[in-house]
Amino acid sequence: MNAIECEELTRRFGRTIALDRLTLAVPAGSIFALLGPNGAGKSTTLKLLLGLLRPTSGRSRVLGHDSTALRPADFERIGYVTEEQILPDWMTTAQLLAFCRPLYPQWDNALATRLQQLFALPADRPLKKLSRGMRMKAALLSTLAYRPELLVLDEPFSGLDPLTRDEFVQGLLELPGDDRPRTVIVCTHDIDDVERLADRVGFLTESHLLLNEPADDLRARFRRVEILGDGAAERAATHATPDWLALEKPAAHTARFVHRAFDASRAPAELAAQFPGARIDFRPLTLREIFLVLARQTRTAQEAA
């Protein structure tokens, strides 16, 4: 079962295409990171999913319901935290929780108390007197406490210090389970922050989705390759395939590239045959490194078109 489904979802603002024919499925129970630079269409995607914007064309479904027809009962199952979150800043944390508690049948007092302690949020201080990071944690706390089946996070780490970011991620990782699959979709350009959080990743750039796959599969199929040996640069130019990205030939005896379809059972032997006698090193890439390679490749292709 999918918690989120999009089919050819498109949104235009005048002549500007903010999102171009997005087709996407996010399985229930997954933590999905939608990554991309500023202006890639991430926030637009979330607003379309939640019915805050109408699509120009295409459609999307959230928890089995059309995004354009979500009801109040549906929003009891959905949590939404954004960097632009507006809180009643005259309230204290305790007052905010007391205000939210009767609105949600699934409210969990024990979880709220646990998260308040984890986030070190003062109960009796007005929100307007808290730092931006503390207000973001208050927003997350008041959302997580009603145990939403779908948690939507839009740039939640923006402007937060490293300690607050770590506490934010830790709060998500430590959520106790229940009998319902909980799905998280987090949109961010701060890729390092979701490295240990996401089990599924999508890369959005220039309003297009480049990929959508399990994070472990993505990391497994990308390798940075460095070849040192006589004639390595010339041989690399001869043997290069579309799966060799960011090919560099800094010297006649050196070639470097990123292999985007690396198969550990075949690739080392194939490269050894193509570069006899050469030293060949392989290094895994982080999600951040993978995204940068793909984003630059896309930009180069668009500039050449």
CATH number, position 46 = 3.40.50.300
Q: Are residues 158 and 277 in the same domain?
A: no
- pLDDT per residue rounded down to tens, the chain (305 residues): 899 999 999 999 999 999 999 999 999 999 999 988 888 899 999 999 999 999 999 999 999 999 999 999 999 999 999 988 889 999 999 999 999 999 999 999 999 998 898 888 999 999 999 988 889 889 999 999 999 999 999 988 777 778 878 877 877 776 666 656 689 999 987 787 788 889 999 998 878 898 899 999 999 999 999 999 999 999 999 999 999 999 999 999 999 999 999 999 999 999 999 999 999 999 999 999 998 898 888 777 766 66
- Write down which residue in 167, 201, 218 finishes a domain: 218
Q: Are residues 124 and 246 in the same domain?
A: no
Q: Are residues 128 and 231 in the same domain?
A: no
- Write down which residue in 163, 183, 218 finishes a domain: 218
How far from the centroid of its chain's Cα atoms is residue 13's Cα?
A: 24
Q: Are residues 115 and 211 in the same domain?
A: yes
Helix-helix angle 162-173:132-144, to 10 degrees: 10
Q: Are residues 209 and 278 in the same domain?
A: no
What is the number of structural domains in the chain? 2
- SS3 label, residue 283: strand
Q: How high is the pLDDT of residue 179?
A: 59
Q: Are residues 68 and 150 in the same domain?
A: yes
Q: How high is the pLDDT of residue 96?
A: 96
Q: How high is the pLDDT of residue 176?
A: 61
| Cα–Cα dist 257/58, whole Å | 37
| Cα–Cα dist 182/207, whole Å | 27
- Rounded to 10 degrees, what is the CA torsion of 230, 234, 235, 236? 110
Q: Are residues 169 and 208 in the same domain?
A: yes
Q: Are residues 262 and 125 in the same domain?
A: no
Q: Taking a C-beta distance cutoff of 8 angstroms, is the pair 192, 35 a contact?
A: no
Q: How far is CA 144 from CA 67, 106, 172, in A?
A: 21, 10, 9
Q: Are residues 14 and 144 in the same domain?
A: yes
The first and second tokens of residue 207, run together, are 């309003």
- Write down which residue in 187, 202, 218 finishes a domain: 218
Q: Are residues 159 and 266 in the same domain?
A: no
Q: How high is the pLDDT of residue 305?
A: 61
| Cα–Cα dist 92/100, whole Å | 12
Q: Are residues 203 and 264 in the same domain?
A: no
Residue 175 lies in a domain: yes
Residue 13 lies in a domain: yes
Residue 276 lies in a domain: yes
**pTM of the complete model beyond 0.85:** yes
Q: Are residues 170 and 258 in the same domain?
A: no
Residue 169 lies in a domain: yes
Domain hosting 257: range is 223-284
